[in-house]
Structure 1
Amino acid sequence: MLKLLLALVGGVTFTLWFVSRPPNPSTLPKLDPEQWWGPEKLKGKANNSIRPFKIEFTDKMIQDLKRRLDNFRPPPPPLEGVAQNYGFNSKLLEEWRKYWRDQYPFKARETFLNQFPQFKTNIQGLDVHFIHVKPKVPAGVKVLPLLVLHGWPGSVVEFYESIPLLARQAPGYDFAFEVIVPSLPGYGFTDAAVRPGLGCAQAAVLLRNLMHRLGHKQFYMQGGDMGSIIGTNMVTLFPDEVLGFHSNMLLARNTRSILLTLLGALYPPLIMPAHQAHRMYPLGTFVANMTLEMGYLHMHATKPDTLGVGLSDSPLGLLAYIFEKFSTGTRFDFRAREDAGLLQFYSKEHLLDNVMIYWVSNAKTTAMRLYAETFNKAHIALNIDSYQTTVPTWALQAINDFYHPPTLLRTKFVNFLGHTELPDGGHFIALEKPDVFSQDVFKAVKEFVEYREGSKKTEL
């Protein structure tokens, strides 16, 4: 009976698979590379130069923040024994309030955040903030441009421990990276669009234009979270410009991957190794977990400005909102811990540095709008996820993060070269495990280089 059922499902799946062939690349939508996202009055007057930038914690800002922390009205006490299952446990707020107000070393952290060269330049009407670190390497060592993209609720801070490891020659490799880490549109110190329409596809265009501004017509790329979605759009829209794509949240979101997912629900080994099946199946458990943890996405995608009022006004509200995701995003089982597990892998300073980026720039609302501009009818109608890309790709797959097996990934990424399965680690892997993260980027890029060199030899 089971064999008959599998045969029937397999036949239906094959039929649907056939009719859901990826569209011809010639029909890929052409996005305007010069679309203007800034104020109309500045059109034609923008400063396109590359200007040095420094993060500043002014005395006025610090005084205002401390005043707000002093005037914090505690929420009702949490229910007994719930740990983090109802969201960030408010019992933890008093400890963080005191630390942030009295012990967080504002000026020392300002210096820490300014340790790398930072710049701004105007792209399509928006001042784009980015870190730009060029390696100092001996003669004969190649320098490869690497665009690194963060997501939400992270920021460029996620990569502060990894940048020095990437911008030097690692043992066993004949190259180092010129590292470019921009703040996404509307995040941190990059301007937000003044009109609707700037979703992940449009952000891909904007950040590709940033790389052109810096003199890189071709480059490598790394991205996680929203940075992975932007990266996936970029390798689809500009396959001749991205030389290789490394992602710690690589996903294939198309009809074929959905069909395979449903087929795997009947018998997981059809699409993935048995030891990884628990990461996706049973589907009921997976959907239940997503329901528990993805409520924020629906709010961001529908009513970001409403949610943003409280998060822009209350520093502890902002802290609780971000810390909740850093807790569960690092380890799923941290929901059961009274302390949220935050200090097991991160320092208080690193966690608050990330919150400070949002607070100082007042970017919480505009950051959430990227979801509203991506998960809507207009952006979905571009149908970019259905197109395949030939850009060589590599996945770093931490056990406590979103997961698609190679069988699914190859429905989108034709030249999926490999993956690294981590038995531990979470969503913010570059901050949690910078050594592991940077080593995997080196490993992947070496594969990309060898793949392209092999392709050239084959062509000859």
Structure 2
Amino acid sequence: MSRRSGEVEAFEAHASDEDLDDLRARLAAARLPETETVHRPAPDPRRWDQGVPLADLVAVVDYWRTGYDWRAFEARLNRIGQFRTTIDGLGIHFLHRRSTRADATPLILTHGWPGSIAEFAHVVDELADPENPDAPAFHVVAPSLPGFGYSDKPATTGWGIEKIAAAWVELMARLGYDRFAAHGGDWGGVITTVLGGRYPAQVLGIHTPTAQAPPGLTTDGLTAAERRWTEETRDFWRYRAAYAKQQSTRPQTIGYSLVDSPVGLLAWILDKFAEWTDTEDSPFETVSRDRVLDDITLYWLTRTGASAARIYYESHDSLDPGLRVDVPAAISVYPRDIEKCPRVWAQERFRRIVRWGSPETGGHFPSLEVPEFFVRDLQEGLAAVLAAQR
């Protein structure tokens, strides 16, 4: 593989003791509102009808202040291998874990919002060097989106999904990966779709749980279950997407709260983990407090609440309606995800679907909710993608 010029520097995460002490002090001094006026005993998802219940928030704040260990997650990131490079004038941070297998395939993993590289930190090793010798192995690259984590914050507009996809192609080529596979969910799924559609010469194929169909398709011919999917997706965007409207129109305004108040940041993101996971009440039924706090603490320490929110301003509803993906695609539709696309609709955009998965459990954060299944699904999906290339 050829290696393009472009400086890639090793990076090590290390928050200062002062920043961690400041976080704990802010948590201890938090001013909280009165309890919600919806009173239901747990477990009951309706407890969350007005947002994060006060008792749940207080419990997480207390654990964040007295029990959570950021240093353990920081050490995990450093063990995987972290790097930074500059593309189009912006510093891009990424995890890079090379496989020991000679037959490994380069793979780029792209997170979304309110996720981060924390979505993938605990599955990278198994993807790179799987215990099952028959499973495919990957050289894993997991970048932080512009404005997220340890990537730089764009100082000007323009860093939308198309520019990010182009940057990912440059990043992979800079690492010596001129041909690669791609996976992503949420914004990462949209960017992965752009990668597959715009760069077929570089992208071997894609895997995503976020299949977005072109607009204007009819429900004629859909099964009853597929009609329910379309109704649930419509209702999500009509009644439960105020966060997206806020971040796509006024990210700076909400950003002040997200950067200044750890409790505000926690509530804003925890609300989404609660609503978007496959649970009956609390997100902690499937995702541990530590995993959620790894993600939220990364936002806090890097002061990226506002800059990450701006991806909605840059890219909301910006996926080209005419974009078609002709490289092989593996698509999985998790039962409690916020958007579920019928296969007949997906085929209008993804024209070589080689594997379609309908898992029995899981929501919007499958790598955190069902990590073992997620890894197996990704391995099997990309195995089908690679087989289609032969």
Q: Report whether the alignment pairs 1:63 with 2:7.
A: no
Cα distance in 1 for residues equivalent to 2:254 and 2:359: 35
> Secondary structure of the residue that 1:114 maps to in structure 2?
helix
Cα distance in 1 for residues equivalent to 2:217 and 2:332: 24
Query: Of the candidates 25, 34, 54, which is equivalent to residue 12 of structure 2?
Result: 54
Partner residue in 2 for 1:180: 141
Partner residue in 1 for 2:95: 131
Alignment of 1:11-410 (within 5 A): 48-81=6-39, 83-137=47-101, 141-169=102-130, 171=132, 173=134, 175-252=136-213, 254-255=214-215, 258-260=216-218, 263-264=219-220, 270-272=221-223, 274-280=224-230, 283=231, 286-331=233-278, 334=280, 337=281, 341-375=282-316, 380=318, 384-401=320-337, 402-410=339-347
Deviation of 1:175 (Å) = 3.5
Q: Are the equivalent residues in 1 in contact too, given 2:147–2:307 (CA < 8 A)?
A: yes
Tell me which amino acid in the other structure corresponds to 1:294: A
> Secondary structure of the residue that 1:147 maps to in structure 2?
strand
Cα distance, 1:136–1:103 mapped onto 2, change above 3 Å? same
Cα distance in 2 for residues equivalent to 1:287 and 1:51: 44
**Higher helix proportion, which one?**
1
Cα distance in 1 for residues equivalent to 2:233 and 2:385: 33
> Secondary structure of the residue that 1:398 maps to in structure 2?
coil
Partner residue in 2 for 1:28: none
Partner residue in 1 for 2:42: none
Cα distance in 2 for residues equivalent to 1:278 and 1:89: 29
Structure exhibiting the larger radius of gyration computed from Cα positions: 1
> Secondary structure of the residue that 1:446 maps to in structure 2?
helix
Tell me which amino acid in the other structure corresponds to 1:279: W
> For residues 61-95 of structure 1, what are the alpha-carbon distances to aligned partners after superposition, in whole Å with 9 as ceiling and x for unaligned?
01111121121111122113251111111222221
Deviation of 1:287 (Å) = 3.1
Tell me which amino acid in the other structure corresponds to 1:399: P
Cα distance in 2 for residues equivalent to 1:101 and 1:214: 39
Query: Of the candidates 417, 433, 436, which is equivalent to residue 354 of structure 2?
Result: 417
Tell me which amino acid in the other structure corresponds to 1:408: W
> Secondary structure of the residue that 1:130 maps to in structure 2?
strand
TM-score (norm 2): 0.92
Question: Over aligned residues, Cα RMSD in angstroms?
Answer: 1.8
> Secondary structure of the residue that 2:48 maps to in structure 1?
coil
> For residues 296-326 of structure 1, what are the alpha-carbon distances to aligned partners after superposition, in whole Å with 9 as ceiling and x for unaligned?
1111110000000011100011011111101
Cα distance in 1 for residues equivalent to 2:383 and 2:237: 35
Q: Are the equivalent residues in 1 in contact too, given 2:233–2:340 (CA < 8 A)?
A: no
Tell me which amino acid in the other structure corresponds to 2:315: T
Cα distance, 1:170–1:63 mapped onto 2, change above 3 Å? closer
Cα distance in 2 for residues equivalent to 1:147 and 1:294: 28
Deviates more, 1:195-204 or 1:92-101: 92-101
Cα distance in 2 for residues equivalent to 1:292 and 1:172: 46
> Secondary structure of the residue that 1:132 maps to in structure 2?
strand
How many residues are paired up? Answer: 379
Question: Structure 1: which 4+ aligned runs deviate by more than 4 Å?
Answer: none
> Secondary structure of the residue that 1:243 maps to in structure 2?
strand
> Secondary structure of the residue that 2:80 maps to in structure 1?
coil
> Secondary structure of the residue that 1:444 maps to in structure 2?
helix
Structure 1 gap ranges (5+): 1-46, 265-269, 454-460
Cα distance in 1 for residues equivalent to 2:357 and 2:193: 18
Cα distance, 1:286–1:125 mapped onto 2, change above 3 Å? closer
Cα distance in 2 for residues equivalent to 1:323 and 1:420: 27
> For residues 317-363 of structure 1, what are the alpha-carbon distances to aligned partners after superposition, in whole Å with 9 as ceiling and x for unaligned?
101111110111103x64xx3xxx12211222111111011001101
What is the identity percentage for the equivalent residue pairs of Structure 1 and Structure 2?
Answer: 30
Cα distance in 2 for residues equivalent to 1:106 and 1:438: 25
Deviation of 1:174 (Å) = 6.2
> For residues 376-398 of structure 1, what are the alpha-carbon distances to aligned partners after superposition, in whole Å with 9 as ceiling and x for unaligned?
7xxx4xx7331222111011111
Tell me which amino acid in the other structure corresponds to 2:349: K
Cα distance in 2 for residues equivalent to 1:369 and 1:174: 38
